[in-house]
């Protein structure tokens, strides 16, 4: 797509990728490209510095800052509406809608504790916003009304969630895992035993060959990803694999959290980004790794593919994995973009 | 099994008399136990080989085969698996075995039971413990086969899945893995290596085999599924350390608290993410404080259990337990005090910041006022000047008008008095001229 970056690899741009200009001042907590309904590529990043920033990403790799909004507190999640005209921002205990055309924002949802996830649901007979919070509830909002149209109790605090109509999946504290069906109205479909033994951190739904959601990838703090099918034909279909670990050849192995997982919209292959500062491309059907990146200067906190799968964005910044002592406010976060269509092609065998 | 068959088929080690299911395992055992250099741990193939190695490499003599029976320690005799065993010893062994079977089973050395961990016939799983990325996914085929082993108890023993073989003696311990774990870990490691021929379960628990086996606790700080020793206490370990069978120590890069990284970071921003509006802030603070209180309750339950067990032990142990309990309580108190102090410091800092902000606001307001005042004053002055100018102009105009009138009057008077006397006219003209000059000069 856009060719080689004209920048050489600097000390922090280890992969010689395109660096997004004017990044946030604190770690990126949410990173989303605009949906396919929008012709251009817009990138939204929510950050711990309470800002939400929007850039346009041009074909050449150049990023143009378009707009920025400052919230009352750290932003934990963002999502686009299906038509790409509005952005939902989860900041502290509220979710606000940001109309990009009018540059207006308005509150649309609220919880008793910080909202960790927000996802827009578009079905044939309804649209709504799904919000998951540390107050152990999952709420669904018709954005025109101040009260939720539906509230579901979770067994524990919501840590991660994903929506791909008609499926939604939520990972909670205490290794909880619940799958919801969104047809007609959101209902709990089933609870699954977590394939991972450690705290859930990120979850992402994948589709089958017919482009219907069929399972999810779950990442934990223990450098491991579980691939689970909602209805596995064969129990062997479910498996886990280890990732984001140092080699251990010296007798000591460091295990890092998987901070984010994203599936390529076309190829169906996936990427994991880790606390160790690397990203890796995987083919879950061939059960093989496709590529591993160099180690970045800081952890990679979030990643996203653009709508046509040409651009892979990843955000580098401190994720608190070593506690507050290792927080260095002078080390600024960065967001990088790379052309990824070829790298993520599945293994043919 | 009733009749005495000729059981030469079961391989056994000449050096220590142990029996093995398979000659391959026997060879591995010999290499690890008898032909291993005690200096550099290099595994040789034969006794003489070991002797030569030590002489050439370390300049040391080895006269006895390590870990061997006293009558079987001859290093010169070349044994490899079952090859090289002198016929006499073979027969003797047979006799002993058959004779021993009809006798009591107690003569079996405990070590033998431990060793006889017959490995089932799972597909070969040669999995090195630390997977290099390119090969990592190669084990999925093997992982895929793991479900077959799901029904087996996941004993993380030295390297085998213990099963009850049919020919074993009755007093075989129920948990050979546990017994094996009781022996030195070095021996276990050596056994793991020895038994690697058939299987090496790196993380047997971490396969989908244990998806069916629900996890025992909710505690994310559990280390390897069976090594619960690290997290036996109610308090989480400082760093989450997992030790695998192959001896690699792993550490999870995550703070020990049972909270997500976002929650941990949010705790450091007391003003923002925790208390925005008063109504919710109290509930939120209680949410945030629960981790601390749970830690405190963990300590207190730890204390009570300590005191309850002390009643059973001796007085000395009692005193020690209470002393430990006291120190723990002190620790908790200091921790609580530290947390409080921190909270106070933060509150003070916040208050100071507020005060500073207020002062700044006031100063700014004053400055703005002063500026406005100055501007107003300037405007007034300008206005006054304008007024003065206007007044002057008016005066001047008036003067001119008056002068012109006088000139006209004079001219009229001169014209009316044109006949009588040129001098008067001349004087009047002169006067008029003078007047007009004056007017012009004004």
Question: Are A324 and B129 a contacting pair at CB < 8 A?
Answer: no
Which of A239, A253, A280 has the CB atom closest to B208's CB atom?
A239
Contact present, A230 and A205 (Cβ < 8 Å): no
pLDDT cut 70: percent of chain A above it: 97
- pLDDT at position B60 is 87
Q: Which tens digits make up the pLDDT trace of B299-323? A: 334 344 434 444 444 555 555 555 5
pLDDT cut 70: percent of chain B above it: 35
* Domain A16-342, classified CATH 2.130.10.10, yes or no: yes
Average pLDDT score over chain A: 93
Which of A195, A257, A319 has the CB atom closest to B211's CB atom?
A195
Average pLDDT score over chain B: 61
Sign of CA dihedral B369, B371, B372, B374: positive
Residue B439's pLDDT band (boundaries 50, 70, 90)?
low
Question: Are B273 and A323 a contacting pair at CB < 8 A?
Answer: no
Question: Are B147 and A223 a contacting pair at CB < 8 A?
Answer: no
Q: Which residues of A touch B239 (CB under 8 A)?
A: none
pLDDT above 90: residue B6: no
Question: Are B250 and A253 a contacting pair at CB < 8 A?
Answer: yes
The answer, for B189 touching chain A at a CB cutoff of 8 Å, is no
Nearest chain B CA: its distance from A125 CA (Å)? 34
Question: How many interchain CB pairs under 8 A, A with B?
Answer: 161
Q: Which tens digits make up the pLDDT trace of A223-246? A: 999 999 999 999 889 999 999 998
Sheet containing strand A200-207, edge to edge, reads A200-207, A213-220, A224-229, A239-242
The answer, for B170 touching chain A at a CB cutoff of 8 Å, is no
So where are chain A's domains?
16-342
When pLDDT is averaged across residues A244-252 and rounded to a whole number, the result is: 82
CA B242 – CA B224 distance, rounded (Å): 5
Contact map slice: B 118-157 vs A, CB within 8 A: 129-134, 136-138, 140-141, 143-145, 147
- pLDDT at position B339 is 60
Q: ipTM, 2 decimals? A: 0.92
- pLDDT at position B268 is 83
CA A265 – CA A309 distance, rounded (Å): 6
When pLDDT is averaged across residues B220-236 and rounded to a whole number, the result is: 37
Residue B41's pLDDT band (boundaries 50, 70, 90)?
confident
Q: Which of A28-37, B389-398, B424-433 has the lowest mean pLDDT?
A: B424-433
Q: Which tens digits make up the pLDDT trace of A317-338? A: 999 999 989 999 999 999 999 9
In B86-184, which ranges are continuous DSSP H helix? Answer: 87-102, 110-115, 133-136, 140-145, 176-182
Nearest chain B CA: its distance from A46 CA (Å)? 14
For chain A, the farthest-separated pair of C-alpha atoms sits apart, in whole angstroms, at: 59
Q: Which residues of B touch A292 (CB under 8 A)?
A: 133
CA B442 – CA B439 distance, rounded (Å): 5
CA A337 – CA A194 distance, rounded (Å): 33
Q: Which tens digits make up the pLDDT trace of B252-302? A: 999 999 999 999 999 887 654 444 443 334 444 444 444 444 433 333 343
Question: What pTM, to 2 d.p., does this model score?
Answer: 0.53
The answer, for A139 touching chain B at a CB cutoff of 8 Å, is no
Residue from A26, A46, A90, A92 to probe the interface with B (highest B Cβ count within 10 Å) = A92
pLDDT above 50: residue B42: yes
């Amino acid at each position: 797509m856009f060719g080689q970056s004209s920048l050489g690899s600097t000390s922090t741009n280890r992969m010689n990728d395109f660096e997004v200009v004017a990044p946030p001042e604190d770690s990126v907590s949410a990173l989303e490209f605009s949906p396919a309904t929008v012709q251009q590529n817009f990138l939204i990043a929510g950050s711990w510095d309470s800002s939400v920033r929007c850039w346009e990403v041009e074909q050449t790799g150049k990023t143009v800052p378009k707009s920025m909004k400052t919230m009352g507190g750290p932003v934990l999640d963002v999502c686009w509406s299906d038509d790409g005209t509005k952005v939902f921002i989860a900041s502290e205990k509220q979710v606000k809608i940001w109309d990009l055309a009018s540059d207006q924002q308005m509150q649309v949802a609220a919880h008793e504790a910080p909202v960790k996830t927000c996802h827009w649901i578009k079905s044939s007979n309804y649209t709504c916003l799904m919000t998951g919070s540390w107050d152990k509830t999952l709420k669904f909002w018709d954005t025109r009304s101040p009260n939720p149209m539906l509230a579901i109790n979770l067994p524990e605090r919501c840590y991660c969630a994903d929506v791909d109509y008609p499926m939604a999946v939520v990972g909670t504290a205490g290794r909880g895992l619940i799958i919801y069906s969104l047809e007609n109205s959101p209902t709990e479909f089933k609870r699954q035993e977590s394939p991972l033994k450690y705290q859930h951190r990120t979850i992402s739904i994948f589709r089958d060959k017919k482009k219907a959601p069929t399972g999810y990838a779950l990442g934990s703090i223990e450098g491991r990803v579980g691939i689970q099918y909602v209805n596995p034909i064969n129990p062997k279909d479910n498996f886990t694999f280890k990732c984001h670990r140092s080699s251990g050849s010296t007798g000591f192995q460091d295990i890092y959290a998987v901070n984010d997982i994203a599936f390529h919209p076309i190829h169906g292959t996936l990427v994991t980004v880790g606390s160790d500062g690397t990203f890796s491309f995987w083919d879950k059907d061939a059960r093989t790794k496709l590529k591993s990146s160099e180690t970045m200067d800081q952890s990679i906190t979030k990643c996203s593919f653009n709508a046509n799968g040409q651009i892979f964005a990843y955000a580098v910044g401190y994720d608190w994995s070593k506690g507050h002592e290792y927080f260095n406010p002078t080390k600024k976060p960065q967001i990088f973009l790379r052309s990824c269509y070829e790298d993520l092609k599945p293994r043919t065998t | 099994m009733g009749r005495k068959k000729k059981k030469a088929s079961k391989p056994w080690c000449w050096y220590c008399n142990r029996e093995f299911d398979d000659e391959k395992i026997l060879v591995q055992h010999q290499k690890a136990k008898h032909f291993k250099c005690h200096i550099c741990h290099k595994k040789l193939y034969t006794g003489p080989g070991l002797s030569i190695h030590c002489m050439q490499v370390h300049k040391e003599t080895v006269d006895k085969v390590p870990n061997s029976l006293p009558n079987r320690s001859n290093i010169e005799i070349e044994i490899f698996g079952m090859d090289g065993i002198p016929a006499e010893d073979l027969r003797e062994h047979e006799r002993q075995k058959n004779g021993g079977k009809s006798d009591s089973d107690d003569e079996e050395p405990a070590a033998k039971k431990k060793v006889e961990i017959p490995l089932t016939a799972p597909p070969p799983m040669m999995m090195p413990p630390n997977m290099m990325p390119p090969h990592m996914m190669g084990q999925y085929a093997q992982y895929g086969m793991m479900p077959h082993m799901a029904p087996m108890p996941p004993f993380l023993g030295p390297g085998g899945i213990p099963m009850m073989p049919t020919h074993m003696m009755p007093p075989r311990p129920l948990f050979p893995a546990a017994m094996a774990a009781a022996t030195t870990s070095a021996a276990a490691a050596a056994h793991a290596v020895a038994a690697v021929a058939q299987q090496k379960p790196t993380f047997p628990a971490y396969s989908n085999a244990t998806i069916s086996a629900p996890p025992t606790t909710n505690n994310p700080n559990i280390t390897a599924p069976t090594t619960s020793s690290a997290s036996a206490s109610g308090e989480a370990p400082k760093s989450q350390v997992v030790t695998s069978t192959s001896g690699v120590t792993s550490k999870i890069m995550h703070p020990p608290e049972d909270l997500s990284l976002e929650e941990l970071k949010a705790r450091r921003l007391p003003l923002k993410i925790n208390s925005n509006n008063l109504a919710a802030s109290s509930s939120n603070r209680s949410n945030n404080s629960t981790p601390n209180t749970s830690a405190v309750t963990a300590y207190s339950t730890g204390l009570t259990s300590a005191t309850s067990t002390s009643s059973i032990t001796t007085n000395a142990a009692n005193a020690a337990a209470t002393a430990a309990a006291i120190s723990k309580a002190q620790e908790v108190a200091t921790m609580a005090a530290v947390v409080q102090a921190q909270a106070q410091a933060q509150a003070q800092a916040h208050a100071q910041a507020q005060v500073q902000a207020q002062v700044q606001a006031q100063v700014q307001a004053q400055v703005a006022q002063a500026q406005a005042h100055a501007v107003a004053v300037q405007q007034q002055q300008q206005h006054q000047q304008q007024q003065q100018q206007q007044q002057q102009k008016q005066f001047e105009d008036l003067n001119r008008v008056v002068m012109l009138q006088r000139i006209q009057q004079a001219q009229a008077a001169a014209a009316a008095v044109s006949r009588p006397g040129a001098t008067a006219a001349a004087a009047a003209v002169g006067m008029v001229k003078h007047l007009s000059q004056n007017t012009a000069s004004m």
